[in-house]
Amino acid sequence: MAKARPGKVWFITGTSSGFGRCLAEEILKRGDRVVATARKPETIKDLETKYPGQALAVRLDVTKRAQITAAVKKALGTFKRIDVLINNAGYGLTGSIEDVSDAAVKRNFDTNVFGLMHVTQAILPVMRKQRSGHILNLSSVAGQLGFPTIGIYNATKHAVEGLSDALAQEVESFGIKVTIIEPGYFQTDFGSRSIERTKASKPYKEIDRRITEVFKNMGAGPAGDPRKGALAMMAAVDAAEPPLRLVLGADALGMIREKIELQRKELDRWQTVSIETI
């Protein structure tokens, strides 16, 4: 059993790479404790070796309820508490709304939405008993905007946003905080290993080609540093008044600001029609 240490206990899903891995490393470096979870725990066992008594590597596929229960039980058995939950596990799905299969849609929602929800449900009783905690839910700029050929992924992240908005209000009186993380383009494996692709049918081949080219050009340009993104998330947890939403990346910030401005203009343009329904 791990020896008690000062600092927070962080429970992170999807720590084998990207944001999850960077978060685990940076948190451990500063002396906090981490329950690092992954579908293949052998990919994160080195954290236990490097930080004995401080890191705990646990098997967790967020689509499996039994594994969620077991992971939370192991975390509490080792560290006695969970102060921060980072729901990071997730993956992308491409394909037009007409082309994607029901099976692909279900898989994406099972991980990105229901997995996140089930892990949250398992840890909320712990935080309520403590009367403290912070939940960070990984959304995306795609949780604020819609992009052609990733509509299902958009839908999962919009679901995360709505769920988190409501959750923040439900748990505020228990001393639990919620922050939605909205990254833009970062140097992670999201565009390669962490994405499932649907073959475009003939009517959608051209838009699929154009969007693929856009994403390829994004990859060729400057991208966010996931380690700096991890530090930004840690800063939000450390803040006395953390944000409900934290945008990561100048690209995401610009796109979301533009969307808000366009939405404001459209509201103004149609306000007479809106009001006349009363």
What CATH code is carried by the domain that includes residue 37? 3.40.50.720
* Residue 153 designated active-site: yes
- pLDDT level of residue 3 (50, 70, 90 thresholds): very low
Q: Under a CB-based contact definition with an 8 Å cutoff, are residues 9 and 78 in contact? A: no
* Residue 51 designated active-site: no
Q: How much is the pLDDT for 220?
A: 54
Q: How much is the pLDDT for 128?
A: 98
- The span from the CA of 189 to the CA of 224, in Å, is 12
Q: How much is the pLDDT for 216?
A: 73
pLDDT in tens, 12-62: 999 999 999 999 999 999 999 999 999 999 999 999 999 999 999 999 999
Look at residue 2 and tell me if it is in a domain.
no
Domain span at residue 164 reads 9-275
- The span from the CA of 119 to the CA of 98, in Å, is 31
Region 176-193: mean pLDDT is: 81
Q: Which of the following is catalytic: 8, 51, 153, 204?
A: 153
Look at residue 216 and tell me if it is in a domain.
yes
The residue among 148, 140, 142, 143 whose CA lies nearest residue 96 is 148
Look at residue 4 and tell me if it is in a domain.
no
* Residue 50 designated active-site: no
Q: Which of the following is catalytic: 157, 177, 185, 204?
A: 157
Look at residue 244 and tell me if it is in a domain.
yes
- pLDDT level of residue 4 (50, 70, 90 thresholds): very low
Q: Under a CB-based contact definition with an 8 Å cutoff, are residues 100 and 152 in contact? A: yes
136-145, 194-203, 212-221: which has the minimum mean pLDDT? 212-221
What letter does residue 115 receive in the DSSP assignment?
I
Q: How many domains does the chain have?
A: 1
pLDDT in tens, 79-90: 999 999 999 999
Mean pLDDT of the chain: 93
Q: What is the pTM of this model?
A: 0.93
Name the helix (H) or strand (E) containing 265: helix 250-269
Q: How much is the pLDDT for 219?
A: 56
Q: Which of the following is catalytic: 139, 140, 164, 185?
A: 139
pLDDT in tens, 205-243: 999 999 888 777 665 556 789 999 999 999 999 999 999
Here the tokens at position 137 are 């839910």
Helix, strand counts (H, E) of the chain: 10, 9
**Statement: residue 72 has pLDDT above 80:** yes
**Statement: residue 147 has pLDDT above 90:** yes
